[in-house]
Amino acid sequence: MGERLDHLRRQVCTGLAFAALFGGGAVLALTVFPLVSLLTPAGPTRWARNQRLVHWLFRGYVWSLRRLGVIEVTVDGADRLRAATGVMIVANHPTLLDVVLLMGLVPRSQCIVKGALWDSPYLGRLVRGTGYIRNDLEPEALLGACRDSMARGESLIIFPEGTRTTPGEPPRFRRGFANIATMLEADIQLVTIICRPLTLVKGEPWWMVPSRRPRFHVQVGERLDASQWMGYKYRSLAARKLVRQLEEYYMECLADG
Amino acid sequence: MLTRDQVYEKLKGYLEEMFEVPSGTVTPESRLFEDLDLDSIDAVDLVVKLQALTGRKFKPEEFKTVRTVGDVLDRVQALLAA
């Protein structure tokens, strides 16, 4: 009985949490973001302020989820992640909450977002206000935007899988992140996200909360130096090797995690 | 001037050397992105390589519509004949 009650309670809290995320997001989009826009000229300064705003919001959001007992979160190496400015942060992508967790840990984060969101009524304001990078830019423009962003000291968060992991399958990485790293000679900070029992996976409705409270474990891993992918005869070979190397790395991390 | 066959052989060499495509699997019908697993950044690298081979400059828009290995050969031939 106690277990069932706990399950129901977490189901209700998860629903509330989603309502808070979307409702709260909408309210903020209509109040705080326009206020920042009013007080800050367009461009990098405004983006930086909005990025910090998103950081504190997500941080508060994760804190509330923990307080409500919906999830548990342990982070190994949070300081190193916070210190990883101006680099690419690469992570696996098991759940819907990953980006919220990471942005709550990194004060100024940048990401590459579906171009269609620019026309969305409330997320559009968010992605424009934070200066996030559209994924439908021409390759040169996309690389340029990533270069500028990291040069400003933002952490560029990338999930190389492109979408959430299919449960039970090893992560399959696309090559885009490796192209950016090899073209821009950027360092990579690796992060592994483990969620047990799994929740909020691809294709599962939010109210399917697992029988036990999900535990998120964020492990800040190695920092890879860009020199590893420099000095190849062809950049394309370095990018391919990096993809294979990280697929193997995550297979190992997820196997013993 | 390079013949189409010579360019084809060179191109197969590049695909193997730069993009890990075994040359035995390449035909003129092979699609660069779907079959040979190239991406848009690879395509830029390949254009640079072909420019070095031919000593001519490609206009980016000339390569926009390229889909297959045969398309690449057509573009290179057109450029060499120009």
B42·A234 Cβ contact <8 A: no
Confirm whether B55 is domain-assigned.
yes
The model's pTM is 0.90
Helix, strand, coil percentages, rounded to 5, for chain B: 65, 0, 35
- Which chain A residues are closer than 8 Å to B20 by Cβ? 237, 240
**DSSP strand pairing (A188-196 vs A88-91):** parallel
Alpha carbon distances (Å) from A160 to A66, A111, B33 = 27, 12, 18
Contact B42 A236 (CB under 8 A): yes
From first CA to last CA, the distance across chain B in angstroms is 12
The answer to whether the CB atoms of B41 and A240 lie below 8 A apart is no
Cα(A165)–Cα(A171) distance, integer angstroms: 6
Distance CA A176, CA A179 (A): 5
Retrieve residue A176's tokens.
């885009």
Distance CA A207, CA A204 (A): 8
CATH number, domain containing residue B47: 1.10.1200.10
Please count the CA atoms within 13 angstroms of the CA of A40 that sit on its side-chain side: 17
- Of A47, A104, A38, nearest to A73 by C-alpha is A104
Counting other chains too, the contacts that A140-146 makes at CB distance below 8 Å and 24 or more residues apart are A142/A112, A142/A180, A143/A180, A143/A183, A143/A184, A146/A112, A146/A180, A146/A184, A146/A186
DSSP designation for B24: G
Q: Do B3 and B76 contact (CB within 8 A), yes or no? A: no
ipTM at complex level? 0.91
User: What is the enclosing helix (H) or strand (E) of A24?
Assistant: helix A2-30
Q: B41, A234: Cβ pair inside 8 Å?
A: no
In the β-sheet with A188-196, what is the strand arrangement from edge to edge?
A72-76, A215-224, A188-196, A88-91, A155-158, A109-113, A133-134
Which residues sit opposite A220 in a β-bridge? A191
How confident is the model over A120-143, as pLDDT tens digits? 877 788 888 899 999 999 888 999
| Interchain contact B48–A (C-beta under 8 A) | no
At A36 the three-state DSSP class reads helix
Chain B residues within 8 A of A229 when measuring between CB atoms? none
Q: Is residue A216 within 8 Å of A97, Cβ to Cβ?
A: yes
Size of interface A-B (CB pairs under 8 A): 22
Helix (H, G, I), strand (E, B) or coil at A220: strand
| Beta-carbon separation of A236 and B44 below 8 A | no
DSSP code at position A163? S
> Structure tokens of B69?
């290995």
Per-residue pLDDT of chain A (257 residues; tens, 9 = 90+): 577 888 888 888 888 887 877 777 777 777 888 888 888 888 899 999 999 999 998 998 899 889 888 899 999 999 999 999 999 999 999 998 999 999 999 999 999 999 998 988 777 888 888 999 999 998 889 999 999 999 999 999 999 999 999 888 888 999 999 999 999 999 999 999 999 888 877 777 777 778 788 999 999 999 999 999 998 999 999 999 999 999 999 999 998 65
Using an 8 Å Cβ cutoff, are B36 and B26 in contact? Answer: yes
Q: What are chain A's domains? A: 2-256 (3.40.1130)
Minimal-distance CA residue of chain A relative to B14: A234
For B37, the closest chain A residue by CA position comes to A175
Kindly state whether residue B24 falls inside one of the protein's structural domains.
Answer: no
Tell which of A234, A240, A241, A243 to mutate to test the B interface (max B CBs under 10 Å): A234
Classified as helix, coil or strand, A207 is: coil
Chain A residue with Cα closest to B46: A236
In which domain, by residue range, is B72 found? Answer: 4-19+29-81
The answer to whether the CB of A187 falls within 8 A of the CB of A88 is yes
The count of structural domains within chain B is 1
